[in-house]
Amino acid sequence: MIIHCCKSNHPIILIALRFLFISILLVSCSTFGQIEATMIQKKEPCAEPIPTVFDRVSPAVVFIIAKSINPYLVSDRVESTLGSGFIVDQSGIILTNSHVVFGRPWIAVTLDDGTSLPAQLLGADPVFDLAVIKIPVPSGRNLPTAALGDSSFLRVGEDVMAIGNPLGLNQTLTRGIVSAINRIIPINPFSPPRPLIQTDTPINPGNSGGPLVNRCGEVIGINTAAIASAENIGFSIPINLAKALLPSLLEYGRVIRPWIGFQGQLIDSDLQELLTIPLVEGFLVEVVEPESPAEQAGLLGGQFEFAIDGASFLIGGDIITSINGIRLDSPDKVADVEETLKIGSTAKLTVYREGKYQKVEYDILERPVLPWDILIGYGSLIAPIERDGPSVAP
């Protein structure tokens, strides 16, 4: 069981093969826009003393309490969650996890010095479990900010530290190493996977949304998950992913992404030779998302599952041979198709079904927040502390 708080030789190719158009789910942003969080260019590995790193970063780490009312209960109707976050801009912008604050109308933040302030949710993305909140700047003072690093330079074995509020224990530091990078954890067939940082740094309920910091004192991840049945197997969202999504969260309050509506993997000539069932080269549709444009257009997913050398396949569904005139016979072609699928455009598919080729068309819509993003996704897995009733942790 994973609670909310494989490195591959070719991770990008494998993700493209397994899940179509995952890169579409990321918003391409190269700058922070209005965010002025300190960006330190990566240099030679740092080895600053841990107390020095803590003294520098911890003032920017905050304690978050979020509450909501469950109208379907007759008692204990106030539900509270406790988590962590960190200030990235002196205007009061704070990064945290979506599962800590999304859907919670009342949010309060406690600063390092004990000051408690109300917070406003500016934007959230349950798919990648990221959220941005804002607090008012106390009169006559400057808010400390955390420096954001570059997670693309992370190496397995690198020292890292988590700072947060595990079990409500304010400003707690734990340490460990980077155990793996590009760790993909599929939660359910309907939510896209994301590459996570795996660490043996202890991450507990209440650490959710807090920073994972390197020995340079830079935030390189946002703590988001831990496996309850294991010892010190935790996960963090790479900070580069957060930086890419932050402008969209600030401008629109959400991440705008096209809704393709199906998932699957490529079928190549080697797999065709291995199997004795009728297949053609193309993209095997394994899952069609309920109520999606793909489902409404009549696209069919798989029904029979089997595994070959550790790889799982769900067969019996449609095989898409081309989209918008581009044949789907390689990862490069998948990338080419991505450029054609924009919100408001039309997807024109050639589909192989039951030995015949068919044409399927549907308009690309904006992907909404889907029920499984919240109920089954990462947000339900690394648990912030959840309390029924108005009580909170110290």
Stretch (H or E) spanning 320: strand 319-323
The rounded distance, in Å, linking the Cα atoms of 139 and 133 is: 19
Closest to 212 (Cα-Cα) out of 149, 126, 273:
149
Which range among 33-37, 137-141, 326-330, 373-377 shows the weakest confidence by mean pLDDT?
33-37
pLDDT over 80 at 5, yes or no: no
Over the stretch 95-134, which tens digit does the pLDDT of each residue have? 999 999 998 999 999 999 999 999 999 999 998 999 999 9
pLDDT over 80 at 376, yes or no: no
What percent of the chain clears pLDDT 70, i.e. is strictly above it?
79
Torsion of CA 212, 217, 219, 221, to 10 degrees: -30
Catalytic site residue 129?
yes
Say which of 58, 84, 98, 129 is annotated catalytic. Answer: 129
Largest CA distance in the chain: 74
Over the stretch 307-316, which tens digit does the pLDDT of each residue have? 877 777 888 8
**Residue 254: which residues within 8 A CB-CB, separation 6 or more?**
123, 124, 125, 248, 369
**Residue 21: which residues within 8 A CB-CB, separation 6 or more?**
258, 260, 334, 337, 338, 341
Q: In the Cβ-directed half-sphere of 82, how many Cα atoms lie within 13 Å?
A: 23
Q: What is the pLDDT of residue 71?
A: 85
User: What domains can you pick out in the chain, each with its CATH number?
Assistant: 1-257+368-394 (2.40.10.120), 258-366 (2.30.42.10)
Say which of 151, 208, 292, 322 is annotated catalytic. Answer: 208
Q: What is the pLDDT of residue 70?
A: 84
Tell me the pTM.
0.78
Average pLDDT, the chain: 82
Over the stretch 338-358, which tens digit does the pLDDT of each residue have? 778 899 999 999 999 988 999
How far are the Cα atoms of 22, 132, 250, 279 from residue 93, in angstroms, in the given order? 28, 7, 10, 52
Catalytic site residue 208?
yes
The rounded distance, in Å, linking the Cα atoms of 37 and 135 is: 15
Give Cα 264 to chain centroid, integer Å.
Answer: 20
Average pLDDT over residues 149-177: 95
pLDDT over 50 at 389, yes or no: no
Say which of 99, 179, 236, 322 is annotated catalytic. Answer: 99
Average pLDDT over residues 309-333: 86
